């Protein structure tokens, strides 16, 4: 009962006699990842609320979380640093805006650099 109740937590009441709680499950699937040529990624550096440490941000990725994680892993390995993937963006430790932009363009993404420096 507990598991079934969790599935229908978003539905309070339906007037449709043919309504099926399990059918609405399909709406939660990941969105399809666009081809690199169709995506516009924004690359910037930031140090706000990071203890003075500078990081490179990649934003604007449209697609599945797993594909975003793979791209983040690629960028971190090429830059030889750590980082993370969260909230639909990639954080690479260090100031690598130009290098990350070049790597993304090499993979076929459209890239715009944000901010100065």
Q: pLDDT tens, 37-57?
A: 899 999 999 988 888 899 999
Q: Break the chain into its structural domains and give their ranges.
A: 36-113
pLDDT at 26 over 50: no
Residue 68 has pLDDT above 80, yes or no: yes
Report the DSSP pairing between strands 89-93 and 83-86. antiparallel
pLDDT (0 to 100) of residue 27: 44
Q: Quickly list DSSP for 60-98.
A: ---S-HHHHHHHHHHHHHHHT--EEEETTEEEEESS-HH
Q: What is the pLDDT of residue 14?
A: 65
The H-or-E segment that residue 45 falls in is strand 40-46
Contact 43, 111 (CB under 8 A): yes
pTM value is 0.72
CATH number 3.30.780.10 given to 36-113: yes
Please tell me whether residue 41 adopts helix, strand or coil conformation: strand
DSSP annotation of 106 reads H
Query: Average per-residue pLDDT in the chain?
Result: 83
């Amino acid at each position: 009962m507990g598991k079934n109740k969790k599935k229908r937590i978003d539905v309070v009441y339906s007037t449709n006699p043919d309504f099926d709680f399990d059918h609405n499950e399909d709406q939660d699937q990941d969105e399809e990842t666009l081809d690199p040529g169709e995506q516009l990624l924004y690359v910037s550096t930031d140090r706000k609320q990071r203890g003075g440490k500078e990081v490179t941000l990649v934003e604007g990725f449209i697609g599945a979380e797993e594909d975003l994680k793979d791209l983040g892993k690629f960028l971190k390995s090429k830059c030889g640093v750590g980082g993370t993937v969260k909230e639909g963006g990639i954080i690479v430790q260090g100031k690598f805006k130009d290098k990350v932009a070049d790597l993304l363009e090499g993979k076929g993404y459209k890239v715009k650099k944000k901010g100065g420096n």
